[in-house]
Amino acid sequence: TQVGVSAGPECKAALQEITRLVDEQLRSDSHSVKALFGADSLKNDGDFLFLLADAAATTV
């Protein structure tokens, strides 16, 4: 919630869309989406999602 408030409505919407797209891609081909972020060595999808969330929070 705090990241969304701090980022503002446009960035929040973009982050939500990225999250939706990543979730969708994880269901169909998790290796390729992880490789796009240089995280293809992560076996657990939850660890990958935490990595993305932390990157967004740190950026904001």
In the numeric block, which tokens belong to residue 29? 């081909």
Element (H, E) at 24: helix 9-36
Compute the distance between CA of residue 48 and CA of residue 28 in angstroms, rounded to an integer. 15
Tell me the whole-structure pTM to 2 decimals: 0.76
Helix axes 45-59, 9-36, angle to 10 degrees: 140
The whole domain housing 17 covers 2-59
> What is the predicted pLDDT for the residue at 60?
77
Total structural domains within the chain = 1
Compute the distance between CA of residue 9 and CA of residue 1 in angstroms, rounded to an integer. 12
Compute the distance between CA of residue 30 and CA of residue 32 in angstroms, rounded to an integer. 6
**pLDDT tens readout for residues 1-60:** 888 888 899 988 998 999 999 999 999 999 999 999 999 999 999 999 999 989 888 887
> What is the predicted pLDDT for the residue at 21?
94
